[in-house]
Amino acid sequence: MPKSKKAIVVYFSRDGNTRKVAKIIAEYLKCKCVFILEAENISIYDLIVIGSPVYTLEPVSTVTEWIKSHDFTNKKVVLLCTYTWFGEQRSIKIMKKLVQRQNGNVIGFHVTVAKHKFFKPDRPNSEDLNKVKDFAKNVLKMWKKS
Ligand SMILES: Cc1cc2nc3c(=O)[nH]c(=O)nc-3n(C[C@H](O)[C@H](O)[C@H](O)COP(=O)(O)O)c2cc1C
Query: Cα separation of 20 and 11, whole Å?
Result: 10
Pick the atom of ligand 1 nearest to 117's CA.
Answer: 19
What's the pLDDT score for residue 143?
Answer: 87
Please check the confidence at residue 134 and state whether its pLDDT lies above 70.
yes
Query: Which residues does ligand 1 sit against, CB inside 6 Å?
Result: 13-19, 53-57, 82-87, 114, 116
* Domain range summary for the chain, segments of one domain joined by +: 7-145
How many angstroms separate the first and last alpha carbons of the chain? 11
Quickly state the pLDDT bin for 2 (edges 50, 70, 90): low
Average pLDDT, the chain: 96
User: 131: CA distance to ligand 1 center in Å?
Assistant: 20
What's the pLDDT score for residue 40?
Answer: 80
Please say whether the beta carbons of 44 and 4 come within 8 A.
Answer: no
| Domain 7-145 listed as CATH 3.90.550.10 | no
pLDDT tens digits, one per residue of 80-125: 999 999 999 999 999 999 999 999 999 999 999 999 999 999 999 9
